[in-house]
Amino acid sequence: MAWSISGTYFENCNCDVVCPCTWSGLSRPATQDRCNVLLAFHVDRGQIDEVDVSGRTFGLLADAPKQMTDGNWRMGILMDAAASDDQAAKLQGVATGELGGPMAGLAPLIGEVLGVERVPITYELADGATRARFGDVADVEVAHVRSIEGKDMTLGNVPHPANSTLTIASSTRSQVSAFGISFGAPDKSGFTAAFSWSA
């Protein structure tokens, strides 16, 4: 059945700014021995198999090899505790690529799904910063990197599931510990963008 969702996303990883995995389309290795990344998606509006998922948020936490195309990623899903069981199941299907859409392109790289944890989530956008708190397991804020003229810095034409154009945004606050994956530091790599998915 057809579905579509749209909203905003951000990510933070343990790479030094700017993550080479992103600007190289996964052809260059991460700057650390392992890539640890949290991707947060807030759905402004959307329906999945006639289930309204507007206002819900979910996060994908992954641990991947330095060269991400080597596969065998370990991934866990942080799901909005405010979501109904139906909403959570549908969003999980989108997040894992099971229901098609952009995340299906990453599915072959995932070696192990670590599970789903339901947590209260707050997600905010304000003055060039995006922040989210996932219960007591993740608290992240990224701020847009701006030129000396005050303009947002972007990467274009990138093969990323969220959007082909991403705004560069380094972490100002980052503490993540879930599914046995822990990382966090200021001034590490981040991106933000609007997303619009369908299948």
What mean pLDDT is reported for the chain? 94
Query: What is the tally of structural domains in the chain?
Result: 1
Least reliable range by pLDDT among 18-27, 80-89, 137-146, 161-170: 18-27
**Whether pLDDT at 40 is above 80:** yes
Please give the share of the chain, as a percent, with pLDDT higher than 90. Answer: 84
Give pLDDT, residue 80.
Answer: 98
**What integer is the mean pLDDT of 19-42?**
84
Residue 12 belongs to some domain of the structure: yes
**What integer is the mean pLDDT of 111-123?**
97
Q: How do residues 60-102 score in pLDDT, each as one tens digit?
A: 999 999 999 999 999 999 999 999 999 999 999 999 999 999 9
**Whether pLDDT at 24 is above 70:** no
Short-list 188, 56, 177, CA closest to 123? 56
Could you give the CA distance from residue 67 to residue 48 in angstroms, rounded to a whole number?
33
**What integer is the mean pLDDT of 52-61?**
98
**What integer is the mean pLDDT of 94-114?**
96
**What integer is the mean pLDDT of 16-32?**
76
Give pLDDT, residue 18.
Answer: 79
**Whether pLDDT at 23 is above 70:** no
Could you give the CA distance from residue 123 to residue 114 in angstroms, rounded to a whole number?
23
Give pLDDT, residue 32.
Answer: 86
**What integer is the mean pLDDT of 42-66?**
97
Residues 6+ apart with CB under 8 A from 32: 14, 15, 66
Domain containing 174: what range? Answer: 3-194
**Whether pLDDT at 19 is above 80:** no
Tell me the three-class secondary structure of the chain, residue by residue. Answer: CCEEEEEEEEEEEEEECCCHHHHCCCCCCCCCCEEEEEEEEEEEEEEECCEECCCCEEEEEEEEECCHHHCCEEEEEEEECCCCHHHHHHHHHHHCCCCCCHHHHCHHHEEEEEEEEEECEEEEEECCEEEEEECCCEEEEEEECECCCCCECEECCCCCCCCCCEEEEEEEEEEEEECCEEECCCCEEEEEEEEEEEC
Pairwise pLDDT comparison (160 vs 17), residue with the higher score: 160
Residue 199 belongs to some domain of the structure: no
Residue 102 phi, psi dihedral angles, 5° rounding: -60, -35
Short-list 12, 8, 13, CA closest to 142? 12
